[in-house]
């Protein structure tokens, strides 16, 4: 190691690092004390982040053109070769950790409400718009960083061959220095900005919503800290004259800022300056050092960093979480596809990979929730990755790298032992302290009508039929007798079901209460047998059947159907460990001996037989037959994605899939006795009004998507929960 007494010193004035730490600590304390009252601080934090972003894109453009334009052809080729090889090595380290972390996962059982992403086709990646700057000015305006970088690289390469470029390079050098001064000026506001960001996050972030994600969160955070605090800086210490303390010390301010803001982009100029100062103050600067740094930082920023690649572990977590862990043969394709898709936006890559792995698309919602926490750790690791990668690449290119074999072997051996300890420790912790307390069935059982219900009589057995009154329409009869009799199909989650308190609830139960309230009458509910549905309705068993009834030609002839009030999508429900068997329609069509249950519906049974001619269909009277018994060895049941998702909340060992391309869309309607045109007109007008005033959308959000099903309590705070100064 270099023992030169002139070692790296802090760039900032004495006390700046301490001010940053104090700002962070005070922000956290403020958030914990005042809770949700700190939400307005988010505006201050957002303003600080925008200030930091002011110089980043201009800095990237200027520094890239300057750095590349000042190189020779030989230097550029050497840069591409050595930096490219080094980047492959960084990716290899990240992918190895990704493969090892699932060994720590315990057993888990889970379920989720229906998500619209379940029926959406996969979104394609548009790499052309991302990487090719057809209009560089638009790319600058839209903050499309990869396209801006490519444009700057091309200009820099062209400038390499220009002879009379000294004046331009001098101007770019002055511009770079000016932008650095602006960045340093804004960076003085860091303690205030971090105070606002930390206060807002600590005051508004809910702890409960991360409960079922704790395995992924803890595994990712531990791995990210392991790579940030040991693997990457220690690698610099064994491969260059820099010490571990210098690597960590020079980057402390930038790492804290990146961690708290969750934004790597804004610290690029700061990291660039710190790296240059390291080489300068340790007397390792060469003529091309600054040019290489100016090129490597912005270019490498656009490639997947270790923090980003490590997020591939979420896909393995999602597979484990949903009961469909990947087989050994799937890993090579998964890693290659994951690495390539991570060149783009994660918000596009994650849904794409979930679909490619045949995992539920609604798991993307878990990723978004987890991102609130993992985003900071991913950015922390990305900042250290950028710092270490640039130091190592620059050291290799300028000839100051000094790899000592004995130290490298010791580093590899110690890192291997620490990795085993990390994975083993996580496994022991998860096994001892992470319990799978599945609560989604209880959540469904606690669901209740959103609006105060009318007094209603719920019959457990069908009462005597209502005798028709000669010369009086059904609508008039309802108003004269003073009550509306609504028929329902038992076991029709989430439209009609009985909750844990013995109350009849669901989407259509709520709609029935609204209809009775609109008519100004009382309400009765009577059960209807699925096999005798049309017979009971036409015989006067009920005025209206409201149970998420699918529209079919036969029912349209035998009953009077209302206008459709919503659509559902046909899907397969099956044991979750067989998920990959039911994702592609073509693969299902080729399967022989497939046994599929269907709920006594000749029309859709015929549709299924036409779509899957090799499958055998078995009629069921209720989906409960499939979930609670072997059901004659059925492989799956044909149901709707919306209703099937609700059943999987009660039976989490089952899953739902819509084969791509999707099978059918099913309209739902309410059924009335045949010939009741006046009642049908009234109901149709009422349905349209409920759609216009937002009632059906509100009920859809609650009963189908589950929004609001879990009560959100106020964020814990000292002010509310300890001092009791506010309620």
Domain ranges of the chain: 16-105+128-433, 446-564+669-704, 569-667
Residue 111 structure tokens: 């379920």
Give CATH for domain 16-105+128-433.
1.10.3860.10
- Do 668 and 566 meet the contact criterion of CB atoms below 8 Å apart? yes
φ/ψ of 242, rounded to 5, equals -70, 150
**5 pLDDT tier (thresholds 50, 70, 90):** very low
pLDDT at 217 over 60: yes
Report which listed range, 141-150, 237-246, 606-615, is most confident.
237-246
Residue-level pLDDT at 668: 95
pLDDT in tens, 290-322: 888 888 888 787 778 899 899 999 999 888 877
- Picking from 572, 636, 125, 215, the residue whose alpha carbon sits closest to that of residue 360 is 572
For domain 569-667, the CATH superfamily is Periplasmic binding protein-like II (3.40.190.10)
Tell me the CATH number of domain 446-564+669-704, given options 3.40.190.10, 3.40.630.30, 3.30.590.10, 3.30.420.40.
3.40.190.10
Mean pLDDT value of segment 339-366: 70
pLDDT in tens, 316-339: 988 887 766 777 777 887 888 778
Answer yes or no: pTM beyond 0.85.
Answer: no
Buried b / exposed e along 123-159 (16+ C-beta atoms within 10 A): eebeeeebbebeebeebbeeebbbbbbbbbbeebeeb
Q: Is 548 exposed, middle or buried (0-12, 13-18, 19+ CB in 10 A)?
A: buried
Residue-level pLDDT at 9: 46
Rounded Cα distance, 186 and 176, in Å: 16
Rounded Cα distance, 584 and 632, in Å: 24
pLDDT in tens, 35-60: 888 888 888 888 887 787 787 778 77
How many separate helices (H) and strands (E) can be counted in the chain?
31, 13
pLDDT at 251 over 90: no
**7 pLDDT tier (thresholds 50, 70, 90):** very low
Mean pLDDT value of segment 232-260: 87
Same CATH topology for 16-105+128-433 and 446-564+669-704: the answer is no
- Picking from 479, 533, 400, the residue whose alpha carbon sits closest to that of residue 678 is 479
pLDDT at 240 over 80: yes
**Lowest pLDDT segment from 167-171, 230-234, 424-428, 547-551:** 167-171
């Amino acid at each position: 190691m270099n023992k030169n007494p002139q070692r790296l010193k802090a760039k900032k004035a004495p006390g700046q690092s301490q001010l940053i730490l104090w700002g962070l600590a005070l922000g956290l304390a403020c958030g914990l004390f005042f809770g949700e009252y700190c939400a307005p601080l988010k505006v201050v934090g957002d303003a600080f982040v925008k200030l930091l972003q002011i110089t980043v894109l201009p800095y990237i453009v200027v520094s890239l053109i300057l750095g590349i334009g000042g190189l020779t052809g030989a230097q550029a080729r050497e840069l591409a070769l050595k930096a490219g090889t080094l980047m492959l090595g960084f990716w290899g380290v990240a992918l190895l950790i990704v493969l090892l972390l699932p060994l720590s996962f315990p057993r888990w059982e889970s379920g989720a409400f229906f998500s619209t992403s379940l029926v959406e086709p996969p979104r394609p990646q548009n790499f052309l718009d991302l990487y090719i700057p057809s209009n560089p000015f638009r790319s600058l305006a839209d903050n499309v960083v990869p396209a801006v970088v490519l444009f700057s690289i091309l200009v820099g390469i062209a400038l390499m061959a220009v002879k009379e470029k000294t004046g331009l390079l001098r101007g770019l050098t002055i511009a770079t220095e000016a932008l650095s001064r602006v960045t340093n000026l804004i960076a003085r506001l860091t303690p205030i900005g971090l105070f606002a960001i930390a206060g807002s996050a600590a005051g508004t972030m809910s702890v409960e919503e991360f409960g079922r994600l704790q395995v992924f969160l803890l595994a990712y955070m531990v791995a990210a800290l392991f790579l940030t605090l040991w693997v990457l800086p220690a690698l610099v210490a064994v491969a260059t004259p820099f010490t571990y303390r210098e690597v960590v010390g020079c980057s402390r301010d930038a790492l804290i800022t990146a961690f708290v803001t969750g934004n790597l982009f804004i610290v690029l100029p700061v990291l660039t300056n710190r790296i240059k100062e390291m080489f300068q103050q340790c007397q390792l600067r060469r003529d091309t050092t600054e040019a290489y740094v100016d090129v490597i930082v912005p270019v490498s920023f656009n490639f997947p960093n270790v923090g980003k690649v490590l997020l591939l572990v979420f896909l393995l977590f999602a597979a484990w979480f949903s009961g469909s862990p990947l087989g050994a043969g799937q890993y090579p394709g998964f890693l290659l596809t994951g690495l390539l898709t991570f060149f783009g936006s994660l918000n596009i890559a994650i849904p794409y990979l979930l679909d490619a792995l045949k995992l539920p698309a609604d798991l993307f919602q878990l990723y978004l929730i987890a991102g609130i926490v993992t985003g900071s750790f991913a950015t922390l690791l990305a900042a250290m990755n950028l710092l270490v990668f640039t130091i190592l690449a620059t050291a290799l290119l300028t000839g100051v790298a000094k790899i000592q074999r004995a130290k490298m072997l010791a580093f590899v051996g110690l890192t291997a032992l620490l990795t085993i300890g990390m994975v083993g420790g996580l496994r022991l912790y998860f096994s001892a302290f992470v319990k799978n307390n599945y609560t989604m069935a209880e959540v469904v059982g606690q669901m209740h009508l959103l609006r105060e219900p009318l007094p209603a009589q719920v019959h457990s057995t069908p009462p005597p039929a209502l005798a028709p009154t000669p010369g009086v329409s059904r609508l008039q009869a309802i108003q004269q007798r003073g009550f509306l009799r609504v028929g329902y199909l038992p076991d029709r989650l989430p439209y009609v079901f009985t909750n844990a308190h013995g109350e009849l609830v669901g989407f259509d139960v709520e709609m029935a209460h609204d209809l009775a309230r609109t008519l100004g009458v009382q309400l009765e509910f009577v059960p209807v047998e699925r096999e005798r549905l049309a017979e009971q309705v036409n015989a006067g068993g009920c005025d209206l059947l409201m149970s998420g009834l699918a529209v079919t030609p036969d029912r349209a002839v035998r009953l009077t159907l209302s206008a459709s009030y919503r659509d559902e999508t046909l899907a397969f429900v099956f044991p979750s460990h067989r998920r990959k068997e039911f994702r592609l329609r073509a693969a299902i069509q080729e399967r022989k001996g497939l046994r599929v249950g269907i709920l006594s519906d000749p029309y859709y049974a015929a549709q299924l037989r036409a779509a899957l001619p090799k499958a055998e269909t078995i009629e069921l009277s209720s989906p409960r037959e499939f979930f609670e018994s072997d059901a004659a060895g059925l492989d799956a049941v044909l149901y709707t994605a919306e209703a099937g998702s609700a059943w999987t909340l009660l039976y989490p060992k089952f899953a739902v899939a819509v084969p791509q391309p999707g099978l059918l869309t099913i309209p739902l309607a309410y059924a009335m006795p045949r010939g009741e045109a006046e009642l049908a007109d009234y109901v149709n007008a009422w349905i349209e009004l409920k759609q216009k005033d937002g009632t059906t959308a509100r009920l859809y959000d609650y009963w189908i998507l589950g929004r609001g099903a879990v009560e959100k309590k106020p964020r814990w705070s000292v002010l509310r929960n300890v001092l009791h100064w506010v309620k």
